[in-house]
Structure 1
Amino acid sequence: MIDFEFDASAVHDALRDQADALRNAVEARIRQKLSGEVLQTRSGALADSISSSIDDDGSAVAISTSSAGVPYAAIQEFGGKTAAHDIVAVKAKALVFSAGGGEVFARSVRHPGSTIPARSYLVSTLSEMCGEIESAWKQAVLESLRHG
């Protein structure tokens, strides 16, 4: 018979410490995708909306990552359709765009709607990093058992 004891709090602490490094790595990878790899940067609002946290209830440690406050975040991640809508000049007297080889001015235009393809930046990051995340968690547990 082999007698084996381990310090559960040491394992928990090791996972908590590893969670912070993983959280930073996931956020950095998402921001990389939003800096031209998956989406072209315009205002940077989507990249700035990315946040993550470590959830620790004392018995489990989890990392949550999300995008909040950017209305177009979900349609970029999952794709979808926009309805037909009017585009009206707000900050100027007219809209200007190129058509027929010249510039066209209009106070408003009717946009027919769009089909937006999925351009995943959240789910794809987690999928790509799954092996790295799993390996880091395992390594944290093994190290805590060696030193505990």
Structure 2
Amino acid sequence: MKLPVALRQAIPGLASALDREVLALGLKLSARVKQKLSGEVLKVRTGRLRRSIHMEMKRGANSIAAVVGTNVSYARLHELGHSVPGHVVEVRKARALRFLEPSGAVFAKKVYVPPYTLKKRSFLQSSLVEMTPEILQRLSAVAGSEVRQALIKGVE
């Protein structure tokens, strides 16, 4: 029977098919993240975070992955949430701090900033969770199809 040989010969085709599918899924995930950053999760101010979303293919000896991420420092604060304890801001180099209140400009040597919490507004993790069923289904379908073709060749 030629089955083991056919399965070994199917490995390059399977790897190539999985590469194409992972690339397509990575691009779709990247687009989903950008959609969430277009007002669905966060309101767009400058568009910097949305423009920074990128997808990179990572290949190992026995693996392939599409990594979607950003290099913008404040993205983590929105993705995971963040708490800031109350603290005092003091003048260092200037003569005074200036800020606006309804009554007009206020000057001070130091001010107390009360504690605040930035709630979690996930756009990366939530996009991946939403797409997980589709990712699993599509990768399973590609792998199944390639193995099925190898089995047919091996039985002939």
**Superposition TM-score, scaled by structure 2 size:** 0.75
Q: Which has the higher contact order (CA 8 A, sep 6+)?
A: 2
Secondary structure at the counterpart of residue 64 of structure 1: strand
How many residues are paired up? 140
Deviation at 1:3, TM superposition (A): 3.4
Q: Distance in 1 between matches of 2:76 and 2:90?
A: 21
Of Structure 1 and Structure 2, the greater helix share is in 2
In the superposition, the TM-score normalised over structure 1's length comes to 0.79
Q: Which runs of 5+ in 2 are unaligned?
A: 92-96, 151-156
- Match status 1:13 vs 2:19: no
**Contact persistence 1:85–1:113 (CA under 8 A):** no
Q: Secondary structure at the match of 2:133?
A: helix
Equivalent of residue 25 in structure 1, options 28, 40, 43: 28
Q: Deviations over 1:63-90 (max 9, x none)?
A: 112221x2221111111202436499xx
Look up the match of 1:104. 104
Paired with 1:87 and 1:57, the residues of 2 have a C-alpha distance of: 51
- Unaligned stretches of 5+ residues in structure 1: none
Q: Does 1:37 align with 2:36?
A: no
Q: How does 1:1-148 map to 2 (within 5 A)?
A: 3=3, 5-6=6-7, 7-68=10-71, 70-83=72-85, 84=87, 86=89, 94-96=98-100, 102=102, 104-107=104-107, 110-147=112-149
Question: How far apart, in 1, do the equivalents of 2:107 and 2:66 lie?
Answer: 47
Please give the per-residue CA displacement for 1:29-69, whole angstroms capped at 9, x wherever unaligned: 0011111111111111111221221111242111112221x
Q: Separation in 1 of the partners of 2:134 and 2:77? A: 27
Is 1:54–1:64's contact at 8 Å kept on the other side of the alignment?
yes
1:75-109: CA deviation from partner (whole Å, max 9, x where unpaired) = 11111202436499xxxx95435xxxx45323565
- Structure 1 vs Structure 2: percent identity of aligned residues? 29
